[in-house]
Amino acid sequence: MIDAHHTSSLTLSEAKAEYEKLGTEIAKHDDLYHGQDAPLVSDAEYDALRRRYTALEEQFPELKSDISQSQRVGAAPSEKFKKIRHNVPMLSLGNAFSVEDVDDFMERIRRFLGMSADMLLEITAEPKIDGLSCSLRYENGVLVSAATRGDGSEGEDVTVNVKTIKEVPLFLNDPSSDLALLSHLLSQAEKEDQGARVKIPEVIEIRGEIYMRHDDFAGLNTAQQANGGKIFANPRNAAAGSLRQLDSRITASRPLHFFAYAWGEVSEMPAQSQIEMVEAFHTYGFQTNPLMKLCHTAQELITHYFSIEEQRATLGYDIDGVVYKVNDLGLQQRLGFVARSPRWAIAHKFPAERATTIVCGIDINVGRTGALTPIARLEPVTVGGVVVSNVTLHNEDYIKGIGNDGSVLREGRDIRIGDTVLVQRAGDVIPQIVDVLLDKRPSFAIPYAFPQVCPCELKTPAVRDVGLKGEDGSVRRCTGEFACPAQRIEHLKHFVSRRAFDIEGLGEKQIEFFYEKDLIREPSDIFNLQLRDQASELVKIRNFEGFGELSTRNLFHAIDSRRQIGLERFIYALGVRHVGESTAATLARAYGSWAAFWAILERLTGQDLLLCEDARAELDALDQIGDAVIDALCKFFGEAHNMAAVLRLVAQLEILDAQMPKQDTLVAGKTIVFTGSLERMSRDEAKAQAERLGAKVSGSVSKKTDIVVAGPGAGSKLKQAATLGVRVMSEDEWLEMVV
């Protein structure tokens, strides 16, 4: 047995050699025990290795490094999580709920790539793990940081916490080293093959899911109950709660696991297909899901889906569907993304779970844009492991059983207070009422009378949107705009929300509180809060209930740390109607800087009608931006008080230029028009490719057009180009230039 204590006679270099050898050995046993369920040594022997390791570390603290096994036990609490920006965004997946949806997915891909039905298309199918995704960054094989998904572009730095998860290697197995090969028990031929093929890239971000197993979840809740701790609703919440601990020693005590299935930044790709990438991750020392399968037809995908669904109950961990991904990475690249999801992947969800409960009341919520949204308060009910106590009823027509397009919902059954309803929850989709059980309707239940005025103290009339461009017509909206306190508060809440300014310690409750105290009335007030606090002798935040000396200081600090903000987030945070995240990103990328964006807004809302029309056309040429967005921008920035409020805000901030897709391409910033038929790619692919390279794609030729790519059959646009002297090229010339 190894002696844990007598380390004092060692020299530093002897200690270092032993320490490193022990570290590798401990890592190997961790992998055998946790990863492969095949321990080689007894617990006592393992503990002895660890004790000796710790003893060496205590005697020679300088031995500790980024790959020390002692990090597995966690470290003293930190104050809060820092942010990490994802160089490659962490995306989400589109959903399929039926076999038809899967067929459509395959069809879309073939159409986009211009592939006929008889051409081979490989697709992988693997379980969708119901945990939380995490991005692990390895530099020269060493784990340097770990971040949660966050909003996809920025996550939280959970490095110390993640280092306590035994299934996350602190350093990657080098497949060409003896130890790695031994531990994976490969045949000689396999060794040579792997060694030749898989090299550890200088930088690789490995992404996957942190999750908790069913038995561990039950055990944790029992222990929590015994200690009076928090009881978790489901394994995913338990995993998330365990990871997001400021005291990483708590994370260390929680049984978390990790499956690797995706990647972010990679300096040299170790493989050219999805399945080989995941195999490479396995050789690096990660757990990968054994149910991943390579399929060739939609039928094969569906068969595998049902086979996974059958095994669902016995897997020992939660999954909520099956993810399909195009196997060939070259094709993935060509397919690219739409908004936040890849075109080359989809999540085929398992059927939704349902439960019945009673509607106890209907409340009206006033949104940022004045929309009155009815919310049903329910007798709490568990649906698919989550307690649901309220669901949105969308609008007054929905309550009556009428859909947005005038269609009939629930066979026309309306929803009344007192009704028994069927509630459904499909994975991460928000719960909804799918039916009303008429035979359970009590005699006192009367049709719901939708309010005609805003519920705020001003009681402003609320009118239906009917007839306006871009409206669905069923929304009743308060006409008070910025005079309506409910709307102002919602604007502020949106402003500080997670995907906008995301100010720690300034959530919805605090906004309401400061609004009531008259300290925050518009966004710029947030950044003046500290000054006002210092200036006022009467109102001191630290004296308010719930705010101590420390939390006030933390709040000011959190506000200060957000004085720098990316243009995408900033535009989104303004809360202009119809300008969601993806529209905000499009605008930010098109204009690059706040100054440039402001310039177009000034033209758009200015007195000069010609300039105004010009600005409209320029915006209209951007992908996914049409009349609804342009009208909303006009309306918002056309109001002098909004303009003034924005300027007061901007004066407090440093707005960072947008992250551009690619600046150094030949077509970046150029406006391209495709016309005629394209032969080597579909119109959609051509458009997506041009946009990836930083170009704008427009549907019509004007003097602003830089290049017209013309295929056979091109007509009026080609003529127009000739008249205006715009450069014209063939599809081949175009491809030669950009690929």
Q: Which residues bind ligand IVH (CB under 6 A)?
A: 91-93, 126, 128-129, 133, 149, 209, 261-262, 323, 342, 345, 347
Query: Distance between CA 308 and CA 291 in Å, rounded?
Result: 8
- Which CB atom, from 252 or from 345, has the smaller least distance to ligand IVH? 345
Can you tell me the distance from the alpha carbon of 384 to that of 426, in angstroms, rounded to the nearest whole number?
8
- How far is the C-alpha of 636 from the C-alpha of 495, rounded, in Å? 15
Q: Cβ(7)–Cβ(59) under 8 Å?
A: yes
State in angstroms the smallest separation of the CB of 128 from ligand IVH: 4
Query: At its nearest, how many Å lie between ligand IVH and the CB of residue 247?
Result: 25
We find the least distance from the C-beta atom of residue 295 to ligand IVH, in angstroms, to be 14
Amino acid at 694: G
Placement of tokens 């106890």 in the chain = 360
Q: Which amino acid is at 547?
A: F
DSSP run (H or E) holding 155: strand 154-156
- Tell me which residue of 651, 644, 655 sits closest to 531, measured CA to CA: 651
Which CB atom, from 346 or from 402, has the smaller least distance to ligand IVH? Answer: 346
Going by C-beta distance under 8 Å and a sequence separation of 6 or more, which residues neighbour residue 686? 674, 678, 709, 734
Q: How far is the CB of 235 from ligand IVH (least distance, A)?
A: 13
Instruction: Pick the closer one to ligand IVH by CB: 291 or 650.
Output: 291
Output the CA–CA distances (angstroms, integers) from residue 202 to 265, 272, 449, 585, in the order listed.
10, 17, 64, 30
Q: In angstroms, give the least distance from the CB of 473 to ligand IVH.
A: 31
Catalytic: which of 16, 28, 82, 128?
Answer: 128
Please say whether the beta carbons of 731 and 737 come within 8 A: no
Hey, which residues does 155 pair with through a beta bridge? 84
Minimum CB distance to ligand IVH, residue 503 (Å): 24
- Tell me the C-alpha distance between 488 and 315, whole Å: 49
Q: Is the CB of 209 or the CB of 731 nearer to ligand IVH?
A: 209
Looking at the Cβ atoms of 261 and 501, the one nearer to ligand IVH is 261
Q: Provide the 3-class DSSP secondary structure of residue 84.
A: strand
CB of 208 to ligand IVH, least distance (A): 8
Q: Which is nearer to ligand IVH, 384 or 480 (CB)?
A: 384
Helical spans, DSSP H, in 497-564? 508-516, 523-535, 549-560
Burial class (CB in 10 A: 0-12, 13-18, 19+), 572: buried
Contacting residues for 431 by C-beta, under 8 A, at least 6 apart: 383, 386, 388, 391, 423, 424, 425
E strand intervals along 642-721: 654-656, 671-675, 696-698, 707-710
Least distance in Å: CB of 129 to ligand IVH?
4
Quick one: three-class SS letters along 319-384?
Answer: EEEEEEEECEHHHHHHHCEECCEECCEEEEECCCEEEEEEEEEEEEEECCCCEEEEEEEEEEEEEC
* Residue 412: DSSP 8-state: G
Active site residue 80: no
Rounded CA-CA distance 390/669 in Å is 47
Closest CB to ligand IVH among residues 320, 639: 320
Q: What are the residues facing 388 on neighbouring strands? A: 381
Judged by beta carbon, residue 69 or residue 273, the one nearer ligand IVH is: 273
Please state the closest distance from residue 323 (CB atom) to ligand IVH, in A.
Answer: 4
Do 347 and 129 contact (CB within 8 A), yes or no? no
Smallest distance from ligand IVH to CB 148, Å: 10
**Would you say 92 or 373 has its CB closer to ligand IVH?**
92
Round the CA-based radius of gyration of the chain to a whole number and report it: 29
Helices (H), 536-671: 549-560, 567-573, 581-591, 594-605, 609-620, 627-638, 640-650
Contact 154, 174 (CB under 8 A): no
Q: DSSP class of residue 35?
A: I
Cβ–Cβ < 8 Å for 394, 435: no
Give the nearest distance from C-beta 120 to ligand IVH in angstroms.
Answer: 23
For ligand IVH, the closer of residues 321 and 711 by Cβ is 321
**Residues 6+ positions from 214 with CB-CB distance below 8 Å:** 235, 316, 317, 318
Q: Provide the residue type at 314 as one letter.
A: T
Look up tokens 């531990």; give the residue.
183
Nearer to ligand IVH, 234 or 652 (CB): 234
Q: Which two tokens stand for residue 314?
A: 């016995």
**Measured from the CB atom, is 278 or 364 closer to ligand IVH?**
278
Residue nearest ligand IVH, CB atom distance: 133
Tell me how far, at minimum, the Cβ of 265 lies from ligand IVH, in Å.
14
Show which residues are catalytic: 128
